[in-house]
Structure 1
Amino acid sequence: MTPTSGKNKVTFKSFGADLVGDLYVPEGFDEAKKYKAIVGASPFPQVKDQIPATYGPEMAARGFIYLGFDYLGMGDSPALPGEFKQSRYMFRLIENTWDAVSYLGTLPFVEEIYGLGVCQGGSIIASAAVTDHRIKKIAMVSGMMAADDFQWADRDVVNQQIAASNASMQKMYESGEPDYVTPFLLNDEMTKEEFIEVGGNPMVGETYDYYGRDGVKGPIAVPNYTNMHIGDQGMQSLISIGQAYADKIVQPSLTIYSKSAYTAICSTQFVEKLTNEHEELAFDDFSHVDFYYKPEAVKASTDAVAAFFNRSTD
């Protein structure tokens, strides 16, 4: 394909399905030139019209080609035959990312490929890069790489989540019908006040401001997004290998996070285990979700990522 400057709709194969993506291309694109390309990875449970639609134009404005896409079973990408929509399964996310790298590798104007993940996308990129050295550098923003201590801190709560997920999987297997739930206890109709009343963690307010019915990237603002998700998701999202394989990563990496964020431990413990060439950028004045969409936080992160990806490693 020969893209034009701006956003280009693309498809590429993964698990035999056509995943749908947006390829963001710099102004004044020249197909005879070579560009650095970025495969983007988004937070759970996002679609390409959320984080990728924010970071894609920003990275293109900084001279990069950026691919944001809907994972298998999400957004505009199909589920596999016999499966259901709204199913982000961790190991498939990694394999979808490998296939996205393969797709970028077919483009004659792509010179090198980098990975940029936000929130769960950080874990996806870090995990994919362990054995995919076609990805030359990785950057993670508000990343959930060291998720075990964060996700498994209260074993009683986790075991309740697992029990519900197990029951949902059995129900779907026997009925052949999807079983949709609210992983964050947030549905598409709640007001902010209703969600805060039941939310139960320090991030409920900022979570609603982004994902809620009236949020900047909620189901009204992004029509193909929903807060409902397949019921066995808890079995899948509790398995995270980002931190477990951190010492195996050889590519230069950059970790960006907020020191005050509820999720900061997911970056700091990951960094502690790294043995590669690594840079760390911690902010005092932004929250976890600020990096999703607030202009000053997005500018700070994308400026840093662009500088890191452009820096010579010779």
Structure 2
Amino acid sequence: MELQAGKNNVTFKSQGVNLSGLLFTPENFDTSKKYPTIVFSGPFNQVKEQMGALYGQKFANKGYVFLSFDHLGYGDSEGELRNNEHSFIKMESIRDAISYLRTLSFVNKEKLYGYGACASGGYIPLVAVTDKRLKAIATVSGMMDNQASYFGIMTKEQLIPIFAMANEARQKQYETGKVEYYDALGMETLDPNNLPEGPMGEGYDYYMTPRAGKETYKNYTHLAPKTLMENAPITSAVTYAPYLYTPYLGIVGEKAQTAPLTKIFFEKASEPKEFYEVPGASHVSLYDIDQDVDKAVEKMDEFFSKY
């Protein structure tokens, strides 16, 4: 495989199938040199061409190698069950992405970092608790505390029917092979002419328009299997924050309503750690608004260069 400076299409094995990735390399890329390297995992249901590709090019411009990839069952990657936002499966793919990067001669194994956004802001720290091949990690707009997001705000009477729905979908899938998908983020319930403030309205503007929707990224969908609700509530990075033992940087938008989910992880996380609020930014503006993305990239570069 001959790699060029800039964006390269790559594949690697994970859990017995081929995953598809975009590997970004710096200007004047030279395979005989060693480069600091970042493995990226993105928000709920995103494909590699969305947030990851934007950050990938910006980090390549700063001298990094950067991998954005389609998780198992997403985009151009193999996998029979499509668009399966399954936290534990995704964490396995992140570990295999790390393994893949460490086989590349130009990757500096002592400067290999993890970066997770939104949902993966909960996955990357959980991987890093036991995977010390990552020398430091960062999260942006991280969803770090699913226990609080589900069990902390919903009652037993509300939750049990949701879990039962997921269980029934699994049984049907097992018996018939038919996968039931649903609008997990509630995008279809919103009125585009009267969007609410906060991440829901921001999410619609991002995912359900040409900004980052299917019209622009053909492999993207906002739908997920109903079995999602069996694993999402029990994926909570906060529980393991004291045992991270890996340098951590938490980045949130100053105006992000989801910022407390990162703050609580940061407060409990082991040292060394840093916290940074991007002035004027929201949860979703950190996905693709250049002025906010550039601030996040600058801060991550500054942080990673220490380790």
Task: Give the alignment's TM-score, normalised by structure 1.
Answer: 0.91
Alignment correspondent of 2:145: 146
Q: Distance in 1 between matches of 2:66 and 2:149?
A: 30
Q: Distance in 2 between matches of 1:150 and 1:191?
A: 24
How far apart are residue 191 of structure 1 and its match? 6.4
Q: Distance in 2 between matches of 1:66 and 1:163?
A: 40
Alignment correspondent of 1:26: 26
Q: Is the 8 A contact 2:187 2:200 kept in 1?
A: no
Name the Cα RMSD after superposition: 1.8
Alignment correspondent of 2:205: 209
Once the two structures are superposed, the pairs formed by residues 79-118 of structure 1 within 5 Å of their partners are: 79=79, 83-111=80-108, 112-118=111-117
Task: Evaluate the alpha carbon distance shift between residue 6 and residue 101 of structure 1 in structure 2; reply closer, same or farther with a 3 A threshold.
Answer: same
Alignment correspondent of 1:242: 237
Worse overlay, 164-173 or 8-17: 164-173
Once the two structures are superposed, the pairs formed by residues 57-72 of structure 1 within 5 Å of their partners are: 57-72=57-72
Letter of the structure 1 residue corresponding to residue 211 of structure 2: V
Letter of the structure 2 residue corresponding to residue 262 of structure 1: Q
Q: Distance in 2 between matches of 1:193 and 1:208?
A: 11
Correspondence 1:262 to 2:257: yes
Deviations along 1:45-76, one digit per CA (max 9) or x if unpaired, are 11111111111111111110000101111111
Deviations along 1:12-41, one digit per CA (max 9) or x if unpaired, are 111110011010011110111110010001
Q: Distance in 1 between matches of 2:13 and 2:223?
A: 26
Q: Distance in 2 between matches of 1:157 and 1:36?
A: 46
Q: Is the 8 A contact 2:251 2:296 kept in 1?
A: yes
Q: Distance in 2 between matches of 1:147 and 1:215?
A: 29
How far apart are residue 150 of structure 1 and its match? 2.2
Q: Distance in 1 between matches of 2:173 and 2:197?
A: 29
Letter of the structure 1 residue corresponding to residue 122 of structure 2: S
Gapped regions of structure 2 (runs ≥ 5):
none
Q: Distance in 2 between matches of 1:281 and 1:146?
A: 18
Task: Evaluate the alpha carbon distance shift between residue 15 and residue 201 of structure 1 in structure 2; reply closer, same or farther with a 3 A threshold.
Answer: farther
Task: Evaluate the alpha carbon distance shift between residue 164 and residue 274 of structure 1 in structure 2; reply closer, same or farther with a 3 A threshold.
Answer: same
| Structure 2 SS opposite 1:227 | coil
Deviations along 1:92-112, one digit per CA (max 9) or x if unpaired, are 111100100000000001112
Dislocated runs of 4+, deviation >3 Å:
156-160
Deviations along 1:234-284, one digit per CA (max 9) or x if unpaired, are 112212131111111111111001243221121011011112200110234
Q: Is the 8 A contact 1:74 1:88 kept in 2?
A: no
Q: Is the 8 A contact 1:39 1:68 kept in 2?
A: yes
| Structure 1 SS opposite 2:252 | strand
Letter of the structure 2 residue corresponding to residue 172 of structure 1: Q
Query: Alignment length, in residue pairs?
Result: 303
| Structure 1 SS opposite 2:89 | helix
Gapped regions of structure 1 (runs ≥ 5):
none
Alignment correspondent of 1:278: 273
Task: Evaluate the alpha carbon distance shift between residue 172 and residue 201 of structure 1 in structure 2; reply closer, same or farther with a 3 A threshold.
Answer: farther
| Structure 1 SS opposite 2:218 | coil
Correspondence 1:39 to 2:39: yes
Q: Distance in 1 between matches of 2:236 and 2:67?
A: 23
Q: Distance in 2 between matches of 1:110 and 1:33?
A: 8
Letter of the structure 1 residue corresponding to residue 107 of structure 2: V
Alignment correspondent of 1:296: 291
Correspondence 1:77 to 2:77: yes
Q: Is the 8 A contact 1:72 1:88 kept in 2?
A: no
Q: Is the 8 A contact 2:246 2:270 kept in 1?
A: no
| Structure 2 SS opposite 1:38 | strand
Q: Distance in 2 between matches of 1:201 and 1:295?
A: 21
How far apart are residue 151 of structure 1 and its match? 3.0
Q: Aligned match of 2:246 in 251, 267, 272?
A: 251
Letter of the structure 2 residue corresponding to residue 17 of structure 1: V
Letter of the structure 2 residue corresponding to residue 178 of structure 1: V
Q: Distance in 1 between matches of 2:99 and 2:197?
A: 39
